[in-house]
Amino acid sequence: MATQAEDRSLSELVSDVTGEIATLFRKEVELARAETSEQISKAAKAGAMLGAAAVVGLLTLILLAFAAAWGLSEVVPEGVAFLIVGLVFGLVAAVLASAGKKKIASVSPMPEQTVQTVKADVQVAKDSFSRGVK
């Protein structure tokens, strides 16, 4: 007694496989889009943090540096006071830049999950094809 799969012609089987591969490809593209969109969102947030850090750093430098340096100039010479204040604000800017850099480093532009599933799909297809050829 022959099964339904044995009764089907080679062209029908190839047509089915082609349709399933097309469906699989569409699903993989959808997954890649979702994963990439998530990474872009992370990068945008990190960029916003860096931009905010730059604006805050600049405003802080402009508004407080002169006040702090003039206040400090009551204790030490004016040039030394401005140098000390400049070094302090430089340190703050370095800390903010480091935090933003760490945030950007966590962003991965490669859709890792999609790459893994495509590799698995290719292996399954190879295994299925090799079983079907025998």
Q: Which domain holds residue 92?
A: 33-107
Per the domain annotation, does 100 fall within a domain?
yes
In a domain, 50, yes or no: yes
| Residue 1 in domain | no
Sequence-ordered list of residues with C-beta below 8 angstroms from that of 85, at least 6 positions apart, any chain: 65, 68, 69, 72
Q: Is residue 57 a part of any domain in this protein?
A: yes
pTM recorded for the entire structure = 0.40
| pLDDT of 2 | 47
* pLDDT 10s digits, 25-79: 888 888 888 888 888 888 899 999 999 999 988 887 788 788 989 999 999 999 9
How much of the chain exceeds pLDDT 90, in percent?
A: 23
In a domain, 49, yes or no: yes
Report if residue 73 sits inside a domain: yes
Give me the number of domains the chain comprises: 1
Beta strands in the chain (DSSP E): none
In a domain, 17, yes or no: no
CA distance 89 to 97: 12
Q: Would you say residue 78 lies in a domain?
A: yes
